[in-house]
Amino acid sequence: MSTLDQLLEISSRLEHLENAAEWVAKETIHTDNGISQTGSLMCVLIDEVREAVYQLAKEVEQIGEETETIH
């Protein structure tokens, strides 16, 4: 599995998790504020994880390009 395929798989799973967290947040807003807030927090954290994964992939790609330039 290529790096791009792995990133797409991670992105797909994060999107699924984010959609579920959004649904939980919306469905429980009037019945259980704590659960609703947890769903909202999960959305924020998922977005941060997604950004961190993309940054890491970008850094690895840059290191690979630098290594290719040296050799």
User: Residue 71: pLDDT above 70?
Assistant: no
Domain spans of the chain, in order of start: 3-70
What integer is the mean pLDDT of 15-33?
Answer: 97
What's the whole-model pTM score? Answer: 0.80
What integer is the mean pLDDT of 50-70?
Answer: 86
SS (H, E, C) the chain: CCHHHHHHHHHHHHHHHHHHHHHHHHHCCCCCHHHHHHHHHHHHHHHHHHHHHHHHHHHHHHHHHHHHHHC
